[in-house]
Amino acid sequence: MINELLGSYYIAKKDLKEYYFKPGTISWGLVFPIAFTLAFFIRHGGSSTWLAPGMISLAIFFGATSMSGMSLVFERRIGSFERLLLFPISYTGIALGKTLSSFLYGVISAVPVIILAFILVPIPPSNPLLLIMSIAVATFLSSTFGVLLSFSVNDPSQIMIVFNLVRFPMMFLSDTIIPVASLPELFRVIALAMPLTYMTESIRYSYTTAYDLVPPLPSIALQILLSIIFLFVTSRLIKSKIP
């Protein structure tokens, strides 16, 4: 068990060194969330209180998924992913390693947006502990989601296209930039099927002590459950890809 965790940690450490400065990771994981946040805050000014938590969850989501997407595009395309399969580590250990590097990158992506939110919308979080916990859980869920999505695509060169096909609709349907409560019933049901909704809800609650669809504790519990499920499904997917 300790060896497995150590193996996952080494994979994560290697990924950060290898992919931190890749153009795709920087553009989608750092530049895009900052530019997006600036654009929205400048447009909405002081009325961005509701928007700020959505921006933070988007930064986390894009940061974490970009890292997993980029690392697996490269490794599956040039065949270096097979190197990981040659090491004495389980498929779950590999999936966890990939998740950890995405997690760390997701946290890094969130920092500039949190600082921007604090400067441009000077509202302190009403529950800092819940905010930290929500960010950690949301980043972990985004990471497992990104890793799972990367392995679900058979052609590695299509991974980033599929990522954006999934991520952009989620942006609009997960209560991040459009209040889902104001949308027709059907959209609220769709929002409940999006992992990003639960990330946004718990982060938003830690700022405003209000939620639109799901209270924070069930939201966090569901995110943990989804992360475990995604991790398990990823390890099965890695195994199933062995011819």
Among 23, 79, 122, 184, binds another protein (CB under 8 A): 79
Among 85, 132, 221, 224, binds another protein (CB under 8 A): 85
Please check whether residue 93 is in contact with residue 63, taking contact to mean a CB–CB distance below 8 angstroms: no
Please state, in angstroms and rounded to a whole number, the distance separating the CA atoms of residues 115 and 138: 18
Running DSSP on this structure, what letter comes out for residue 64? H
- Say whether residue 88 binds another protein (CB under 8 A): yes
- Say whether residue 243 binds another protein (CB under 8 A): yes
Please state, in angstroms and rounded to a whole number, the distance separating the CA atoms of residues 231 and 75: 19
| Contact track, another protein, 13-42, x by CB under 8 A | -x--xxx-x---------------------
Among 5, 87, 126, 157, binds another protein (CB under 8 A): 87
- Say whether residue 158 binds another protein (CB under 8 A): no
Distances (CA, A) of 70 to 53, 55, 172, 239: 26, 22, 23, 21
Question: Helices in the chain by DSSP H: which ranges?
Answer: 2-19, 23-26, 32-44, 51-78, 81-86, 91-120, 128-152, 159-173, 185-192, 195-208, 216-240
Q: How many residues bind another protein (CB under 8 A)?
A: 23
> Which residue, 53 or 97, is less far from another protein as judged by CB?
97
HSE (CB half, 13 Å, CA atoms) of 194? Answer: 26
Please state, in angstroms and rounded to a whole number, the distance separating the CA atoms of residues 241 and 243: 6
> Which residue, 83 or 182, is less far from another protein as judged by CB?
83
> Which residue, 45 or 83, is less far from another protein as judged by CB?
83
> Which residue, 24 or 195, is less far from another protein as judged by CB?
24
Residues that bind another protein (CB under 8 A): 3, 6-7, 10-11, 14, 17-19, 21, 78-80, 82-89, 242-243
